[in-house]
Structure formats: structure tokens, C-alpha cells
């Protein structure tokens, strides 16, 4: 876990204790995006394994999956992507007359900017 990930997790705990629903939602979704980026893709060899159930893991520790190690720069890229998505969605919502929801997304993007 990078220093930035640790900071996000600590801030999530603080937001939950403060019952800050906006910050909690933003931090949870960002940490989920980071966790998804750490996952390795499933290989074809794993899907075509022999056995009673194709692709089933066998043996002690066989269900443990390796994870990619992300750098702080990788995590910043993910946060930037999350921020960009929110700003683009806010622009779309403004165009469709949903100014209140657009403002909420901009506030979420501003919160993410503190981590960049």
C-alpha cells in the first residue's frame, strides 16, 4: 500500500466517524477503483485447467490471488481519472438542467483534487 492509499483510507475512517456522507462515498469509490487497478487479469490457462470444475483452484493457498503493486503516481492517475469522470458528468448534468446534482459532482471532484 502506498502512502497516498494509506492517506485515503485514514481520511475515509475520519469521514465515516464525522458522518460526512459525501466524503465517505467519494473515498470509497476511489479506493474501489484503486483496488480494481491492483487486480491482475485472468489468464486463459487458468480458465482451461483440468479437474472436476474448469478453472477451479485446488490446494492450500490456491485461492490467493496476486495483486499488482501500484506506485503513488499510479494512484494519482486513478484519482485524476475519477475526478475527470465527475467533472464530465457535471457538465452533462448542467446541459440537462440538473444543476444541483452537477454541483454535488463538482464538490466531489474538488475533494479529490486535494489528493493530487
What's the CATH code of the domain at 75?
1.10.1510
**Does any domain span residue 82?**
yes
Residue 92 lies in a domain: yes
Cα–Cα distance between 95 and 63 in angstroms, integer? Answer: 47
Q: Is 65 inside any structural domain?
A: no
Structural domain contains residue 57? no
Number of domains in the chain: 1
Residue 52 counted as domain residue = no
And the C-alpha cell for 11? 481520511
The model's pTM is 0.79
Residue 51, pLDDT score: 55
Is the residue at 47 inside a domain?
A: no
pLDDT along the chain (116 residues), means of 10: 92 97 96 92 56 61 75 95 96 94 96 95
Residue 44 is assigned to a structural domain of this protein: no
Residues of the domain holding 11: 3-39+70-113
- Give the ranges where 1-116 is alpha helix by DSSP (H): 3-17, 21-38, 44-47, 72-95, 99-113
Residue 64 lies in a domain: no
pLDDT confidence of residue 1: 79
- pLDDT at position 68 is 85
Amino acid at each position: 500500500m502506498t502512502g497516498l492509499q494509506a492517506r485515503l483510507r485514514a481520511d475515509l475512517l475520519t469521514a465515516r466517524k464525522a458522518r460526512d456522507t459525501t466524503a465517505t462515498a467519494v473515498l470509497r469509490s476511489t479506493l474501489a477503483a484503486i483496488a480494481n487497478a491492483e487486480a491482475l487479469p485472468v489468464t486463459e490457462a487458468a480458465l482451461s485447467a483440468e479437474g472436476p470444475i474448469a478453472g477451479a483452484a485446488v490446494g492450500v493457498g490456491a485461492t490467493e490471488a496476486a495483486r499488482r503493486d501500484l506506485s503513488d503516481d499510479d494512484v494519482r492517475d486513478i484519482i485524476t481519472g475519477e475526478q475527470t469522470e465527475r467533472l464530465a458528468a457535471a457538465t452533462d448534468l448542467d446541459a440537462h438542467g440538473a444543476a444541483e446534482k452537477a454541483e454535488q459532482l463538482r464538490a466531489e471532484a474538488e475533494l479529490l483534487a486535494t489528493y493530487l
